[in-house]
Amino acid sequence: MTDADVDDDRLRSGLAVVLGGFMLLTPMLAWGQDGATTILVAAIGAVVILPVWRYAGAAITSPMAIIAFLELVVGPIVIGALFSAAAILTYIGAWGSTLGFLRFATGWRDPQ
Protein backbone atom coordinates (compact mmCIF):
# COMPACT_ATOMS: atom_id res chain seq x y z
CA MET A 1 0.00 0.00 0.00
CA THR A 2 2.80 2.45 0.86
CA ASP A 3 6.50 2.40 0.24
CA ALA A 4 8.68 0.64 2.76
CA ASP A 5 10.34 3.99 3.46
CA VAL A 6 7.08 5.48 4.77
CA ASP A 7 6.41 3.15 7.67
CA ASP A 8 6.85 5.79 10.37
CA ASP A 9 3.22 6.95 10.60
CA ARG A 10 3.82 10.15 8.63
CA LEU A 11 0.96 9.34 6.28
CA ARG A 12 -1.49 8.78 9.14
CA SER A 13 -0.33 11.94 10.92
CA GLY A 14 -0.63 14.03 7.76
CA LEU A 15 -4.09 12.71 7.04
CA ALA A 16 -5.11 13.48 10.63
CA VAL A 17 -4.20 17.12 9.99
CA VAL A 18 -6.37 17.20 6.87
CA LEU A 19 -9.32 15.38 8.48
CA GLY A 20 -9.09 17.55 11.59
CA GLY A 21 -9.10 20.67 9.43
CA PHE A 22 -12.26 19.52 7.67
CA MET A 23 -13.92 18.74 10.99
CA LEU A 24 -12.85 22.09 12.37
CA LEU A 25 -14.41 24.03 9.49
CA THR A 26 -17.59 21.98 8.97
CA PRO A 27 -19.75 23.77 11.59
CA MET A 28 -18.86 27.15 10.13
CA LEU A 29 -19.38 26.16 6.49
CA ALA A 30 -22.39 23.87 6.86
CA TRP A 31 -24.30 25.14 9.87
CA GLY A 32 -23.43 28.83 9.94
CA GLN A 33 -21.31 28.94 13.09
CA ASP A 34 -19.78 32.41 13.30
CA GLY A 35 -16.08 32.92 12.66
CA ALA A 36 -15.26 34.24 16.13
CA THR A 37 -16.65 31.12 17.80
CA THR A 38 -14.82 28.90 15.34
CA ILE A 39 -11.49 30.63 16.00
CA LEU A 40 -11.96 30.63 19.78
CA VAL A 41 -13.01 27.00 20.03
CA ALA A 42 -10.26 25.92 17.61
CA ALA A 43 -7.68 27.76 19.72
CA ILE A 44 -8.96 26.06 22.87
CA GLY A 45 -8.86 22.64 21.19
CA ALA A 46 -5.34 23.23 19.90
CA VAL A 47 -3.95 24.56 23.17
CA VAL A 48 -5.31 21.85 25.49
CA ILE A 49 -3.54 19.04 23.62
CA LEU A 50 -0.11 20.71 23.64
CA PRO A 51 1.09 19.60 27.11
CA VAL A 52 -0.05 15.99 26.73
CA TRP A 53 0.18 15.21 23.03
CA ARG A 54 2.75 12.42 23.47
CA TYR A 55 0.33 10.58 25.77
CA ALA A 56 -2.79 10.85 23.58
CA GLY A 57 -3.84 7.38 22.50
CA ALA A 58 -1.48 5.64 24.91
CA ALA A 59 -2.54 3.12 27.51
CA ILE A 60 -4.23 4.82 30.43
CA THR A 61 -1.55 3.94 32.96
CA SER A 62 -0.05 7.34 33.73
CA PRO A 63 -1.56 10.58 34.98
CA MET A 64 -0.70 12.35 31.71
CA ALA A 65 -2.49 9.67 29.68
CA ILE A 66 -5.55 10.07 31.91
CA ILE A 67 -5.49 13.84 31.39
CA ALA A 68 -5.25 13.39 27.60
CA PHE A 69 -8.18 10.97 27.70
CA LEU A 70 -10.28 13.34 29.81
CA GLU A 71 -9.54 16.19 27.39
CA LEU A 72 -11.13 14.12 24.66
CA VAL A 73 -14.09 12.98 26.77
CA VAL A 74 -14.88 15.95 29.02
CA GLY A 75 -13.66 18.71 26.69
CA PRO A 76 -16.49 18.35 24.14
CA ILE A 77 -19.07 18.37 26.93
CA VAL A 78 -17.69 21.63 28.32
CA ILE A 79 -17.45 23.19 24.84
CA GLY A 80 -21.02 22.13 24.05
CA ALA A 81 -22.27 23.67 27.28
CA LEU A 82 -20.36 26.93 26.80
CA PHE A 83 -20.83 27.45 23.06
CA SER A 84 -23.06 25.13 21.04
CA ALA A 85 -23.40 21.55 19.92
CA ALA A 86 -21.81 22.43 16.57
CA ALA A 87 -18.73 23.77 18.37
CA ILE A 88 -18.01 20.26 19.64
CA LEU A 89 -16.97 19.22 16.13
CA THR A 90 -14.70 22.27 15.91
CA TYR A 91 -13.06 21.35 19.24
CA ILE A 92 -12.47 17.72 18.24
CA GLY A 93 -11.17 18.77 14.81
CA ALA A 94 -8.69 21.25 16.28
CA TRP A 95 -7.61 18.76 18.92
CA GLY A 96 -6.99 16.00 16.37
CA SER A 97 -5.44 18.28 13.77
CA THR A 98 -2.96 19.69 16.27
CA LEU A 99 -2.11 16.21 17.50
CA GLY A 100 -1.57 15.01 13.94
CA PHE A 101 0.60 18.02 13.10
CA LEU A 102 2.81 17.57 16.17
CA ARG A 103 3.28 13.89 15.41
CA PHE A 104 3.99 14.64 11.75
CA ALA A 105 6.47 17.44 12.49
CA THR A 106 8.43 15.46 15.07
CA GLY A 107 8.20 12.02 13.47
CA TRP A 108 6.62 10.71 16.65
CA ARG A 109 5.39 7.11 16.66
CA ASP A 110 3.08 5.52 19.17
CA PRO A 111 5.06 3.41 21.64
CA GLN A 112 4.76 -0.26 20.81
Taking only the tens place, the pLDDT of each residue in 61-107 is 999 999 999 999 999 999 999 999 999 999 999 999 999 999 999 88
Q: Within the chain, where are the H helices?
A: 10-31, 35-49, 63-82, 85-106
Give pLDDT, residue 110.
66
- pTM (2 d.p.): 0.88
Average pLDDT over residues 3-14: 71
| 12-56 per-position pLDDT tens digit | 889 999 999 999 999 999 999 999 999 999 999 999 999 999 999
